[in-house]
Chains A and B, each alone.
Chain A
Amino acid sequence: MRSFLFNRFAQSLVLLLIVSVIGFVVLNLIPGGPLAQFGLDASMTQDDLNRLAEQLGLNRPLWMQYLDWAWRLLRGDWGHSFRDGAPVLEVIGRHLMATLLLMGSSTVIAIAIGTWIGVRGAVKRYSVFDYMATVGAMVALSIPTFWFGLIGIYVFSLRLGWLPAGNMYTIGDESVLNYLHHLILPSIVLALVHVAIWSRYMRTATLDVINQEFIKTARAKGLSERRILMKHVIGNALLPMITLLGMQLPSVLTGALVTETVFTWPGMGRLFLDSLGYSDYPVVMGLLMFSAILVVVSNLAADIVVAIIDPRIRLS
């Protein structure tokens, strides 16, 4: 177990290193660069720009810039935004809660509904419900998230007027209820595609378990179907799903970027797009590293959780 953790940790570090190098190089291949933004100001002379480049360290060779940036990062200094000079960590922090709120609520929705659909579909295999779930999942998977978002806004905000069309809260009303009201539509839209994925995997996992010999044993013991399902089937079927949850997180994150744009949600997705527009490299790199760490940590967490739950791994 200890060596397993150590190996995984070492792998994660290598992965983060690779992500940072690729991210840094690709970002600097984009034509224009941060100075172009300052150049838009007509009062800037070439001398001013050169001085600025000197100040920001942009006139050094790329590898030197990278090493400097990486060294600072390791010591906890993520740099400062080119736009307003604020520390990158602080900028991310301001948008982090909004994104985590959206991701968290949509993940909870996706797991709850997806598990239910998947288990029910497996237990009543080839029933009308199972076919509907299959078709529904295909539809949800093939239609892009932003389309669902726009349709949702059109139907529930413009036509019916039940739900707000965007933003995280109404200015002047920061009650929990107001947050929840704003959260409903974007979290459901973001959850849709994951309900589809989760329910398909859950169906397969449940079918695997249902055909296992110990389910027959449970029946031979005279347990009720309900008890067999709750105690013997779902527990064993959820085990592989934990790993899936860890792997799904990156796509929840990218989905959140799109959803945030559609619903003008003040999260990291919006920040990312805005920062790219301004060529605000420190913030973009910060966001990149932050999400990479998030992905790595969640995968690691999933493996550890599996190891804790499964006695075969925990005890050997």
Chain B
Amino acid sequence: MAVMTDAVTAGDAALSVRALTVDLPKGMERVHAVENVSFDLKRGQILCIIGESGSGKSVTANTIMGLLPKIIQVSSGAINLDGTTIVGAPAKKLRQLRGRVVSMIFQDPLSALNPLMTVGEQVTEVMAAHGVGNKASRRERALELLTEVGLPDPELMYHQYPFRLSGGQRQRVMIAMALALEPTVLIADEPTTALDVTTQAQILKLIRDIQRRKDMSVMFITHDFGVVAEIADSVVVMEKGRIVEQGTADQVLKSPSHPYTQRLIAAVPRLTGEDRKLKAQANDETVLTVNGLCKTYRSGSALFGSQRVVPAVQDASFTLAAGRTLGIVGESGSGKSSLGRLLIKLQDSDSGQILFEGRDILKLSESEFRPLRPRIQMIFQDPFASLNPRSTIGQILTVGPVAHGMPYAQAREEARALLSHVGLDAGAFGRYPHEFSGGQRQRIGIARALMFKPKLLIADEAVSALDVSIQAQILKLLDQIQRETGVSMVFITHDLRVASQICDEIAVMQKGRVVERGPPSQIFLKPQSDYTRELVAAIPGERRRES
């Protein structure tokens, strides 16, 4: 291993990385996971590393932590952490640094906590591992930490198991754990990506506050420029393992110099307060009318008094005109996905009305509804799980229409035409899903839905799993298709910025109820309900842009 001359003076950098190159195992799509990466994390600052999936940002973090899997090796470069050289250091020395000098929090706070240990055990464990304090003092410190990260009733939390906590609370526990030994550097790997937008805002504020109070240095990994705008002092932009641009947050956000950064920032869905301008439809007929729709989930048994009743959708009412898009926005557990399932009768509703082209489909039996099914199609969130890996794209596209009576030759012709329509090569017809990227698969998902020439598309978090630049392309495609075919769309999302891009009208859901409904200009500029106001305020990066 060639260790570069350590030209870095520990001076004002808590962490400095010089010419770091990490190799991927042979046979991967590229040779290096990260290549010739250099940056400094200045003391008392927050450095954001931003990049899309596969940019090497997580590999960089794991290298600093000494947590790389064995098959990935550092081939050259130097890392200096608070005066200690990391690359090439023995495992034991690295272990002594972890949790004490540098600690890390992760993306998914549920799977990052041991399900069989209480919160208290997990927080005190880090102190015990470094031989700090005794049982009583560790306990006291843990309670102090739980208070510091803003958890209610720390004494109760201490004895709680992770599964009892909400996502935000779990991430707070992770932060408490990371802060236990007052590390110099905190590495946060997409810590808010799995959280709801309001929770995300709280956690970002918490990290910012603690960083300021303790004058800690934070390396914050994210894919979201909104988050960068919210929290960063300086920014490193990575693409395919290389740093393409770095500078202060203001520099990078306001006047990005590298074309990749420019493209990335341009692709970030902006919150627009402007309403969508569509040609007035010749026939402004109503495609979908929903009246007082209700659904309640029951689990457990009433007999033993242990029944849990969750009102998923309560009294939902709205209408959707031909060629228009209704956004359904809400946080997890708001009932937005349940509503989507009710609309295509994947689940039975308890009461209410769903009028599709004037017929109440709620009253139809499954066999009466079947001829209507092709006219309501769904686009799913996960472009990986929703395509059968053993079928060719051609089979995936044609099997449905053929089952509904279309001759195969015709189905094949239409499938080929649609594939090129959604921006894929017609040669995709004979290939398998694994040969395509996430964005391409989502295009295939859209083509599959369009095969039936539906009147209504239901897109459930259709762009949530995609990188921003791909997200922007898919949104554009959906918009274009709607303008051409006049299909109506119900667009379910947790992301207000995305909703503002594509929706004519937005319904905000909270705990199963539609709390507000209106055009984007109303929702974002003049929100009527407190909850909508809270949601809009929590959108990361919006404040900075206004100022």
* Chain A contact residues, CB within 8 Å of chain B: 1-3, 6, 212-214, 216-224, 227, 231-232, 235-236, 239, 309-312, 315-316
Contact = CB atoms under 8 A, between A and B. Distances in A.
Interface stretch (B44-52, B94-102, B522-530): B94-102
Contacts of A309: 116
Interface residues of B, number: 33
Ranked nearest first, the 8 interchain pairs of A and B with the lowest CB-CB distance are A222-B99, A222-B98, A213-B111, A311-B161, A221-B126, A221-B99, A3-B304, A220-B104
B125 A223 contact: yes
B306 interface: yes
B106 A213 contact: yes
Contacts of A315: 161, 164
B301 interface: yes
A214 B306 contact: no
Interface string B268-309: 000000000000000000000000000000001101101000
Contacts of A218: 114
A231 B129 CA distance: 12
Contacts of A3: 300-301, 303-304, 306
A220 B304 CA distance: 44
A218 to B, nearest CB: 7
B interface secondary structure, majority: loop
Contacts of B177: 217, 221
Residue in A212, A220, A223, A312 with the greatest tally of chain B CB atoms within 10 Å: A220
Contacts of B125: 221, 223, 231
B116 A235 contact: yes
B97 A213 contact: no
Residue in A2, A219, A222 with the greatest tally of chain B CB atoms within 10 Å: A222
Nearest to A218: B114
B116 A311 contact: yes
Residue in A217, A218, A239 with the greatest tally of chain B CB atoms within 10 Å: A217
Contacts of B98: 219-222
B500 interface: no
A239 B116 CA distance: 10
B304 A312 contact: no
Interface in B452-470: none
B340 to A, nearest CB: 27
Contacts of A6: 304
Contact of A221 (B111, B115, B129, B304): B129
Contacts of B108: 213
A227 B97 CA distance: 17
Given A3-B300, A310-B116, A222 B106 contact: no
A213 B105 CA distance: 11
A270 B67 CA distance: 57
B474 interface: no
Given A311-B163, A315-B164, A222 B129 contact: yes
A239 B114 CA distance: 13
B546 to A, nearest CB: 37
A217 B163 contact: no
B114 A232 contact: yes
A217 B106 contact: yes
A220 B103 CA distance: 6
Contacts of B95: 222-224
B406 interface: no
B333 to A, nearest CB: 17
Nearest to B65: A220
Given A3-B300, A219-B67, A312-B163, 16 more contacts: A3-B303, A6-B304, A212-B111, A214-B114, A217-B113, A217-B114, A218-B114, A220-B65, A222-B97, A222-B99, A224-B95, A235-B116, A309-B116, A311-B161, A315-B164, A316-B163
22 contacts: A3-B300, A213-B108, A214-B115, A216-B67, A217-B104, A218-B114, A219-B98, A220-B103, A221-B99, A221-B103, A222-B95, A223-B129, A224-B129, A232-B114, A236-B114, A236-B116, A310-B116, A311-B116, A311-B163, A312-B161, A312-B163, A315-B164
B112 interface: yes
B33 interface: no
A6 B113 CA distance: 32
A1 B65 CA distance: 42
A220 B67 contact: yes
Contacts of A236: 114-116
Nearest to B95: A222
Given A2-B304, A3-B306, A217-B106, A222 B114 contact: no
A208 B511 CA distance: 35
Interface string B151-190: 0000000000101100000000010010000000000000
Nearest to A209: B114
Contacts of A235: 116
A220 B99 contact: yes
Interface string B76-120: 000000000000000000011111100110101001111111000
